[in-house]
Amino acid sequence: MSHHIVRFENVTFKYPDGTSALNGVSFLITHGESVGIVGANGSGKTTLLMHLNGYLLPTSGTINIGDFILNKKTRMEIRKKVGVVFQNPDDQLFMPTVYEDVAFGPINMGLDESSVDIKVRRALEIVGCYDLKDKPPHHLSGGQKRAVAIASVIAMEPDILAMDEPSSNLDPKSRRSLINLLKSFSHTKIIASHDLDMILDVCERCIVIKDGIVVADGPSEIVLSDQKLLEENNLELPLTLQRR
């Protein structure tokens, strides 16, 4: 399924102040893969994620999302294929009620009221939050906000789900619910996180990025058990591997 493919080829990106965030990133992600992106603060994880649906465009190099090469003309089509869940749910939830937040995307896709309602109900049921549909998002707990933010993305039925630090600020129960939810998705998943135990649990593959460069790419079990590699990138062994 070529429409699920994500390909970065020698991608660089500089911010307007001249800061280099990506310095020749290349990788290929195919249909149905679950891929973790890990690295220290400032390594380029979030910048990479923001390229996936055109929030940022590369300074040089090429990005293919399915059959499209990412550019200003194609990014609206690409945004139909890639759903991004931001690190802070408050950046994603802005409507008066949970229902309206989750309905926002389908409405803007031009769907009729009945189709929108079906998609909203399904998305909220998947994340276990349909009973919250009439609540204001700012009244929700951190875990509930995270789940609703995910619902607002999956209501648009993207081929690819990208998430930035999805487990941050969650209590243990909410974190476990999130992990179980992610493991149940059949989407191609790309997850940037410092939570290496979650990456190990959810993602079969792990990419390590340092100073905007891919320094390791392989099965999560192998990459995340390489203590020397992790220490060189200001990371620690996942707790589950430390106990072995």
- Of 31, 36, 29, the closest CA to residue 182 belongs to 36
In the block, tokens 């200003």 appear at 72
For residues 31-35, give the mean pLDDT.
93
- Quote the percentage of the chain above a pLDDT of 90: 64
What pLDDT band is residue 82 in, cutting at 50, 70 and 90? very high
**Domains of the chain, with CATH numbers?**
2-242 (3.40.50.300)
In the block, tokens 């790419």 appear at 217
Per residue in 150-187, pLDDT (tens digit) is: 899 989 888 899 999 888 877 788 788 888 888 888 77
Per residue in 187-239, pLDDT (tens digit) is: 799 999 999 999 999 999 999 999 999 999 999 999 999 999 999 999 999 88
149-153 contacts at long range (C-beta below 8 A, 24 or more positions apart): 149/85, 149/86, 149/89, 149/92, 149/93, 150/85, 150/181, 151/102, 151/120, 151/123, 151/124, 151/126, 151/127, 152/92, 152/93, 152/101, 152/102, 152/104, 152/105, 152/123, 153/83, 153/84, 153/85, 153/105
Q: What's this model's pTM, rounded to 2 decimal places? A: 0.88
Does pLDDT of 1 surpass 60? no
Q: Residue 194 and residue 163: Cα distance in Å, rounded?
A: 12
Q: Is 115 helix (H, G, I), strand (E, B) or coil?
A: helix
Burial class (CB in 10 A: 0-12, 13-18, 19+), 70: buried
Does pLDDT of 38 surpass 50? yes
For residues 58-84, give the mean pLDDT.
92
